[in-house]
Amino acid sequence: MRESLRFLLGDRLVEINRCDPTLTVLDWLRLNQRMTGTKEGCAEGDCGACTVVVGRLDRGLLRYEAINACIRFLPTLDGCQLLTVEHLKGADGALHPVQQAMVECHGSQCGFCTPGFVMSLLALRLNEAEPSVGRIEDVLAGNLCRCTGYEPIIAAGRRMDEIAPRDADRFLRERDVVAARLTALNDSETLALHGNGGRFYAPATVEMLAELVAAHPQATLIAGATDVGLWVTKAMKRLDPVISLGRIEALRAITDEGDHLRFGAMAGHIDVRTALAALSPQLDELMRRFGGEQVRNAGTIGGNIANGSPIGDSPPLLIALGATLHLRHGGKARSLPLERFFLAYGNQDRAAGEVVTHVTVPRPEAGEHIRAFKIAKRNDQDISSVMGALKIGLDGCRIASARIAFGGLAGIPRRSETVEAALIGMSIDDEAAVAAAVSRIAGDFTPMDDHRASARYRLTVAGNLIRKALMEIATGSRGETRIAHLREAHHAA
């Protein structure tokens, strides 16, 4: 076991021997390092004022990601590079091209949000050349500005590569050197840290993870901590011990296994989006609207399932696709259809110390059509009121198979089995019969009223989504009725 946390802060090596397991990166920066350029707004991952960039090795290559420092625990930076707004100024005091673009485009007024926007744009610049307006909007959806308005900031995103070409950017020029330094830090020892009465473990292998959870079955597992972080910053929970899955590279893999896709539990939503997009453009759009870029960088598919949320976005989708969940308890592995994992609100079929290792998703067969809908109050970075997904198999015009799943209609994500059974065998063109089948949805769900939506709204919208999906499939619509389509048309104009 290694008892010191090691990471790069800019190009300075930091080694810490004692650390509170749930000390946030933001608190460490501001209170311990007095690096106050990174701001605290909401402390729950919503506003982006605390955005920093983390460089980490991904299959040997350095990858930069914008994340929310307010909900990221410091020990999870082991083996990474942390960049904050303080690292942007050159040795000669010159502004970084992203900062210069913000100045020239008048992208800042009170300035509170500005370091966060700058860091989100920095991550974009380091990853992509000449990003489209759509991409700039995507990466800024997790950053809130209350006074400037977004047009000048988006303009800065378009201008940054004109001010200085990307390949002249010192972060990209130094990439190989940083990657080599991180490679030296990424050993296969388990990190075991103590501090403030708490314990933090970060194993590097699945085998070591199994040993640790056997020794500490009540430990809190953390993946991206986009949920768990809020238990600390909002619910003021003390977690001890904490076991982080973040160093286990094997759990991050997404592989194409021919007739199915295999997603490691630690696959981040950004990569999940790319893989699902290959199945259907609808899934690309759904995942684009999952949180903001910072949440998509940190959050994982395993965390989205294991948290058991009734309004998580990926579970209804994966259930509709017919996914299988794979878990491991010590040396023992088991699998089950994903829908059977969710037992009741707050109760999943997972024993203490059992770890979600991966999820497998069958590739849709010929004649199977996928549709997915996220209904939320805002288009970007919002939790769903209703999340619906369908996989409909057609034999000519006849509905041969149907898997329809919803989040937001019950205490758990669930299939609409009555409607599925009623639809099978009917012609997709028979509007009256389809409407009658869909009207049976009330037999499947008893939704609740809350601040996001009333029970009546949830049920009505869910029925309408099924009808809309079937209409789209029947008419071969390419999504003209979707907001995404309007957005593309707007950007093209």
> Does 234 help bind ligand FES (rule: CB under 6 A)?
no
Antiparallel, parallel or unpaired: β 12-16 and 5-9? antiparallel
256-295 residues in contact with ligand FES (CB under 6 A) are none
Work out whether 22 is an interface residue with ligand FAD (CB under 6 A). no
Query: Is residue 244 involved in binding ligand FES (CB under 6 A)?
Result: no
* Residue 356 contacts ligand FAD per CB under 6 A: yes
Site string for ligand FES, 78-117 (x = CB under 6 A): ------------------------------xxxxxxx---
- Position among 265, 375, 410, 474 found at the interface with ligand FAD (CB under 6 A): 265
45 binds ligand FES (CB under 6 A): yes
- Distance separating alpha carbons of residues 62 and 182, to the nearest angstrom: 9
Alpha-carbon distance of 295 to 71, in angstroms, equals 10
User: Applying CB under 6 A, does 41 fall inside the site for ligand FES?
Assistant: yes
The interface with ligand FAD within residues 302-321 (CB under 6 A) comprises: 302-304, 306-307, 309, 312-313
The reply to whether 150 sits near ligand FES by the rule CB under 6 A is: no
- 110 or 214: CB nearest ligand FES: 110
Contact 84, 38 (CB under 8 A): yes
Can you give the length of the chain in residues? 493
Q: Which phi and psi angles does 399 have, rounded to 5°? A: -80, 110
Alpha-carbon span 267 to 221, nearest angstrom: 15
Amino acid code (one letter) for 258: G
Contact between 149 and ligand FES (CB under 6 A)? no
Sheet holding 398-407, edge to edge: 368-375, 386-395, 398-407, 414-415
CB of 391 to ligand FAD, least distance (A): 19
Token pair belonging to 289: 């609207």
Query: Contact between 147 and ligand FES (CB under 6 A)?
Result: yes
Cβ atoms of 334 and 327 closer than 8 Å? yes
Binding piece for ligand FAD, criterion CB under 6 A, among 94-102, 193-201, 221-229, 394-402: 221-229
Between residues 230 and 311, which has the closer beta carbon with respect to ligand FES?
A: 230
Closer Cβ to ligand FES, 66 or 386, answer by number: 66
The answer to whether 293 and 138 are in contact (CB under 8 A) is yes
Residue closest to 196 by CA, chosen among 6, 2, 21? 21
9, 83 Cβ separation under 8 angstroms: no
29 lies in the site for ligand FES, by CB under 6 A: no
* Residue count, binding to ligand FES (CB under 6 A): 23
Give whichever of 154 and 254 is closer to ligand FES, judged by the CB atom: 154
Phi (first) and psi of residue 63, to 5 degrees: -130, 130
**CA dist 238 to 21, 77, 192, 209, Å?**
9, 20, 18, 22
Q: Of 9-17, 41-49, 54-62, 464-472, which part binds ligand FAD (CB under 6 A)?
A: 41-49
Residues that bind ligand FAD (CB under 6 A): 44-46, 220-228, 245, 265, 290-291, 295, 298-300, 302-304, 306-307, 309, 312-313, 355-356, 381, 383
